[in-house]
Amino acid sequence: MNAVVLRPRHRLHLFQGADELFAAVVHAIEHSSHEVRLESYIFAFDKQGQAVASAMESAALRGVRVYLVVDGIGTPPLPPQWTARFDAAGVHWHRFSPLGWLGVFFPVRWRRLHRKLCVVDGRVAFCGGINVIDDFQDPHLGTLDSARLDFAVQVHGPLVQDTQALMQRFWSRLDFAHGLESRQWSKAGSQLRSALRPQPAPMRAPAPQDSQGKIPAALVLRDNLRNRSRIEQAYRQAIGQAHHEVLIANAYFMPGRKLRHALEHAAQRGVRVILLLQGRYEYFMQFHGARAVYGSLLAAGVEIHEYQGGLLHAKVAVVDSVWATVGSSNLEPLSLLLAREANVVLRDPHFAQVLHQRVRAAIDEQSVQMDPLRYAQRGRWQRMLDVLALVILRIGLFVVGRRY
């Protein structure tokens, strides 16, 4: 297993929820001078999304090069009024791999863009699990009765240029495949841009990276090229080296054999392993698939807490109050085997403590601990549904040719 190499000199700030995150993202875009890049699985044009979209539109009109990529399943076709506004302003946008009505029959089309990344001017980056959507809205469930629990991180330091280079390479591949840069805007759109942007700002070199931060960190990816298992390996490495505690909050939890064994072995050697998982029914596979793997974890001494405060969407972990990760990757097959994901991994006692406190508060105040006896005594129908979810999962993995 290749170790994740952490680079020094970073400043990091933790955000909880979309309101905190996108206030900072919009501020950064509004003050951009040469380039904005944003990727998101979901981009909803609600109040939250329109604030981000308007900031990108304004940036493009003043000469900033703006690139937006959204997922073709997570995000439906963009509203016509916004495609027109983006095209007129010069925002480069792309909807990644829409499934289409036949796409379900072609496993290669199951691969998704699930990461949530933003880089502004090569000086600040944002990474996490938070989609561009209001915390009280869900694409499938509508208005929620409480805010979604999720996290993201703002980064200053060398990692920013790594993230920018990653996003530039991804756009270049999309451009090669789809001719995005050669998209012809309408004549009216070109005239509008010229009128509103008579003196486009020149491209500038990225601002010097912040050198005051001391936190070692790395951007860890999962893709279908060179990084097929990197995020899972980062988790397993940290769990394998844990001495005192492993704390994980993860929305969609169906770990494969290796990761599940790592958690069980840690608990068996005396490490306190605590999982905060989704307690509300959202999807059949997510709800029942997770419960299918509870048995061996509980038998090994792993604590499982189910979140009841609303929808859990977090993908974070803290190990021994010093190692932490914040990102987009769930611990289930879609994230670990098929989707493009991005997590920030770091070592810092202060950041880890802040994240630990946020997750512990959710456990102590808004979750219910799973009792091993109650789990063992669950009804026959519940057991059948759990097994069915696991069988469907394994059939799907067989179709895409991956062992899990």
Residues linked to residue 246 through DSSP beta bridges, in sequence order: 273, 319
Same-domain pairing of 115 and 224? no
Query: For residues 47 and 44, what is the distance between their CA atoms, to the nearest angstrom?
Result: 9
CB neighbourhood size of 278 (10 A):
24
Same-domain pairing of 150 and 268? no
Q: Is residue 128 part of a domain?
A: yes
267-277 pLDDT, tens digit each:
999 999 999 99
Decide the pairing of beta strands 272-278 and 245-250: parallel
Q: Is residue 98 part of a domain?
A: yes
CB neighbourhood size of 6 (10 A):
17
Query: For residues 71 and 245, what is the distance between their CA atoms, to the nearest angstrom?
Result: 35
Average pLDDT over residues 182-195: 46
Same-domain pairing of 88 and 230? no
- Active-site residue among 71, 134, 162, 320? 320
Same-domain pairing of 188 and 223? no
31-61 pLDDT, tens digit each:
999 999 999 999 999 999 999 999 999 999 9
CATH number of 119's domain: 3.30.870.10
Has 320 been annotated as catalytic? yes
Same-domain pairing of 276 and 350? yes
CA atoms within 13 A on the CB side of 301: 13
CA atoms within 13 A on the CB side of 111: 12
Same-domain pairing of 226 and 270? yes
Same-domain pairing of 66 and 110? yes
> With bands split at pLDDT 50, 70 and 90, how would you rate the model's confidence at 200?
very low
For 149, the token pair is 């629990």
Has 305 been annotated as catalytic? no
Has 313 been annotated as catalytic? yes
Same-domain pairing of 120 and 251? no
356-387 pLDDT, tens digit each:
999 999 999 999 999 999 998 889 899 899 88
Q: Is residue 238 part of a domain?
A: yes
Query: For residues 90 and 39, what is the distance between their CA atoms, to the nearest angstrom?
Result: 17
Has 371 been annotated as catalytic? no
What is the count of structural domains for the chain? 2
Q: Is residue 180 part of a domain?
A: yes
Same-domain pairing of 21 and 170? yes
Same-domain pairing of 135 and 222? no
- Active-site residue among 315, 348, 356, 386? 315
Same-domain pairing of 125 and 158? yes
Has 258 been annotated as catalytic? no
Lowest average pLDDT, out of 9-23, 24-38, 193-207, 267-281, goes to 193-207
Same-domain pairing of 164 and 236? no
- Active-site residue among 10, 114, 156, 356? 114
Query: For residues 308 and 306, what is the distance between their CA atoms, to the nearest angstrom?
Result: 6
Decide the pairing of beta strands 124-128 and 151-156: antiparallel
Q: Is residue 153 part of a domain?
A: yes
Q: Is residue 2 part of a domain?
A: no
Q: Which pLDDT value is given to residue 288?
A: 86
283-294 pLDDT, tens digit each:
888 888 888 899
Region label for 77, one of left (φ > 0), alpha (ψ between -120 and 50) or beta (otherwise): beta
Domain containing 280 equals: 218-399
Q: Is residue 50 part of a domain?
A: yes
Average pLDDT over residues 233-252: 97
- Active-site residue among 94, 305, 313, 356? 313
- Active-site residue among 34, 116, 156, 356? 116
Q: Is residue 274 part of a domain?
A: yes
For 111, the token pair is 């691969």
CB 285 within 8 A of CB 322: no
Q: Is 401 helix (H, G, I), strand (E, B) or coil?
A: coil
Residues linked to residue 33 through DSSP beta bridges, in sequence order: none
pTM: 0.90
100-117 pLDDT, tens digit each:
666 555 555 668 999 999
CB 167 within 8 A of CB 119: yes
CB 278 within 8 A of CB 316: no
Has 288 been annotated as catalytic? no
Question: What are the phi and psi torsion angles at 136 (to 5°)?
Answer: -105, 10
The average confidence (pLDDT) of the chain is 88
Which of 148, 164, 196 is the last residue in one of the domains?
A: 196
